Amino acid sequence: MPVHDPKRKRRPKSFTVDSGATIHCINDMSLFTDFDPSKQVNVVVANKQVLKCHGVGTVVLPLADSSGVVKNVVLHNCVYSPAFSTNLISVKRLWKDSRVSTHFGSKNYLKCKFTGSKFEFSPDKYAFNHAAHSVRKHTPSTDMSTLHARFGHLSPERLKRLMQTAHGLPSTSQQHEHTHKHDCDACNAGGSHRLPFPKRSSQKFTYFGERISSDLCGPFPKSVDGYQYALCFVDSFTNYLDVFLLKTKSADEVKACFHTYLTRHKPHLPTDKPIRWHTDNGGEFTSRDLDEFCDEFAVRRSFSVPYAPPQNSHAERMWRTLLRPTRIMLAHAHVHESFWSYAILHATSIHNILPTHKHPTHISPHECLYHERPDVSKFKVWGCVTWWLVPDHELPSKVSPRALPAVHLGFDPVRNGYLVYIPHRNRITSAHHLVFQEHKFLHFTENGISNLPPIPAPPRKPKIRYDEERDDPSGERGSDDDDDDNDTTNIPPQDQRETRVGTYGPNPQRATRNTNPNYAEIVIDDVNMQALSINPDEKLSDIQIPDTYEQATSSRFRDRWIESMDLILSALLATPTLTMLRL
């Protein structure tokens, strides 16, 4: 390829475009515009001969494009040696350093990526060699590790890009270009980071119980049932999920939940294949009793590496799947957060009937486990208003309302019904006779339920004696409502079972908050079998128990304390193993 140089009187210098060369080779010193003689390297030519180069520099080629306009093409990192038989242009280095591509075909030309200019050259002026590299570097003056440290411990990829886009870098050998960053102790000490985890497990599961993943989540706010933790079990083959509620984070409760899980799914667990339980390294999963329990039931154990939650990703990911709809349902229904335990169990039921991408046919976990499509006809909006039919024996009168508003809390796990919270009864119960209003909700506030429909109560009759259950000789109990007559707001209960106290005859409903009975006095027997009258308004817990004999004799109950001490002393002396001593 001839070089156009109008200033030169002699014959133009020729260049050979070589697709096998790895570096530009120049044999004419006058072509260099920038030259560094200190960078002396050795190169190996095609015949395995080693030639010593006198330096490295930059050559500017003025080439005429297809329209006749002369433009400069810069060749970086050109090595100089008068022993070269011809000037070689490396196709590889031309693209990396100057972004000039080479095209061979019916027309041979060089094309600049940025300007689009084309520079044609004749086919008899280039050598095309596919067999081997015609020229390669040999014995670098600076190794790759020095450049790696010189530029702030760059990665090998960024260091290679720097060599392609900057001037003045020393040449290096091909064998040092692949130096791995982990060979540097400084990088290992100061640049260590967490390694990535695979996005998908390569292991394929073929049966239920091949791997059961578990994880514990909490603590949550104390629920109405006293629960603060949740434990999940998810099968890797079916993606079927079970959630158990725990009151404490103890290994005994985890063991009881796992035993319940194995019992519940006993028909689906294999008897001739291994069952594996995969957990993290929490203390609730690593007790000796739990290991002995798994050995007894032939359950294999596997654990994730400490501080590596992605190794238990299936169970960890389930909490996001459950907690998101749990929060949304609580917010949508305006239900107090202490009902989270019912919301998370309902979210679990929804997860098991939804199609999942873990199965090739996108079937639900329920269908994969039970081999039948799930029935979703009984699902209702969680937290909506439902009208609970009052049983006949709890109706105050023939004209009292037959139903009370309640909050839908999901399915009853042991009965064919729904769990509902009845604010007027302050009770959580299972019911079947329900009328749902899925577009209405009861708004829970800090002081109770704000939009609870009031239930009218009859006026209280004066001078009516309220009989306790123990005062009735027959022992029969009637039906009565426990709620306050004037207070229609209720706060979420702490126990779903409450004790109802019955009344008789025409007595009006009695308030549970009235802790003072309508008795003039309470008569009990003391230690001497004598009658003792106590004011019901006086708290017995206010009586101070003396620590010394002086405190007992100076108390206002002095006579009583002396009688009690004499009685205890007489009982002790009556014991044959004790002897009276004079001090």
State yes or no: pLDDT of 203 exceeds 80.
no
Q: Note if the bond before 37 is cis, omega within 30 degrees.
A: no
Residues in the chain: 583
List the 109-112 sheet strands across, edge first. Answer: 100-103, 109-112, 118-120
For the stretch 113-170, pLDDT in tens is 888 888 887 655 443 333 233 344 444 456 677 777 777 777 777 777 777 777 777 6
**What are the φ/ψ torsions at residue 543 (nearest 5 degrees)?**
-70, 120
pLDDT above 80: residue 429? yes
pLDDT for residue 314: 87
- Alpha carbons 83 and 27: distance in angstroms, whole number: 7
**Identity of the amino acid at 1:** M
Query: Domains along the chain?
Result: 15-138 (2.40.70), 144-182 (no CATH), 212-370 (3.30.420.10), 380-508 (no CATH), 534-583 (no CATH)
The whole-model pTM stands at: 0.50
pLDDT-derived band at 495 (thresholds 50, 70, 90) equals very low
Residue 406, strand partner residues: 386
Q: Tell me the pLDDT tens digit for each residue of 168-178.
A: 776 665 444 44
Q: DSSP of 377-404, one letter per residue?
A: TT---TT-EEEEEPPGGG-SSTTS-SEE
**Position 459 confidence tier, pLDDT thresholds 50, 70, 90:** low
Higher-confidence residue: 100 or 543?
100
pLDDT digits (tens, 9 = 90+) for 61-90: 888 887 778 888 888 888 888 888 888 888
Q: 35 forms bridges with which residues in the sheet?
A: 57
Amino acid identity for residue 146 in this structure = T
Average pLDDT of span 355-374: 87
DSSP per-residue codes, 201-217: ------STTS-EEEEEE
Q: How far apart are CA 493 and CA 178, in angstroms?
A: 68
Does the pLDDT of residue 220 top 90, yes or no? Answer: yes
Please answer whether residues 232 and 243 qualify as being in contact, where contact means their C-beta atoms are separated by less than 8 angstroms: yes
Whether residue 480 has pLDDT greater than 60: no
Q: Which residues contact 323 (CB under 8 A, 6 or more apart)?
A: 217, 344
Where are the extended beta strands (E) located within 401-488? 403-411, 418-422, 427-431, 434-437, 444-445, 448-449
For residues 230 and 462, the model is more confident at 230
Give the pLDDT of residue 156. 75
pLDDT of res. 549: 85
Supply the mean pLDDT for the chain.
76
Contact between 63 and 162 under an 8 Å Cβ cutoff? The reply is no
The pLDDT, as a whole number, for residue 531 is 53
Residue 180 has pLDDT above 70, yes or no: no
Task: State how far the alpha carbon of 555 is from the alpha carbons of 200, 403, 409, in Å.
Answer: 77, 58, 56
Please classify residue 358 by burial: count the beta carbons closer than 10 Å to its beta carbon, then call 0-12 exposed, 13-18 middle and 19+ buried. Answer: middle
Would you state the pLDDT for residue 99?
A: 83
* pLDDT reading at 520 higher than 70: no
* Mean pLDDT to the nearest integer, 342-357: 91
Predicted pLDDT of residue 450: 67
Structure tokens at 456: 């009218």
Q: Which whole-number Å values give the CA distances from 114 to 77, 99, 101, 333, in the listed order?
A: 21, 8, 11, 62
How far is the C-alpha of 244 from the C-alpha of 232, rounded, in Å?
A: 6
Whole-angstrom Cα distance, residue 136 to residue 164? Answer: 17
Residue 546 phi/psi, 5-degree rounding, is: -70, 150
Q: What is the pLDDT of residue 9?
A: 44
Three-class DSSP labels, 157-168: HHHHHHHHHCCC
Q: Is residue 139 a contact partner of residue 86, using CB atoms and an 8 Å limit?
A: no
High-pLDDT (> 90) share of the chain, %: 25
| Cα separation, 443 vs 452, whole angstroms | 8
> Which range among 35-44, 131-140, 253-262, 538-547 shows the weakest confidence by mean pLDDT?
131-140
Q: Which of 75-79, 229-233, 477-481 has the highest mean pLDDT?
A: 229-233
Other CB atoms within 10 Å distance of the CB of residue 129? 13
What per-residue confidence (pLDDT) applies to 229? 95
Burial of 322 (0-12, 13-18, 19+ CB in 10 A): buried
Q: Which pLDDT value is given to residue 50?
A: 80
Task: Give pLDDT, residue 177.
Answer: 44
Instruction: For residue 552, name the pLDDT band (cuts at 50, 70, 90).
Output: confident
Residues 4-63 have pLDDT tens digits of: 444 444 445 678 888 878 888 888 888 888 888 888 788 877 777 788 888 888 888 888
* pLDDT at 182 exceeding the cut of 80: no
Give 324-383 as a DSSP string: HHHHHHHHHHT--GGGHHHHHHHHHHHHHHS--TTSTT---HHHHHHSS----TT---TT
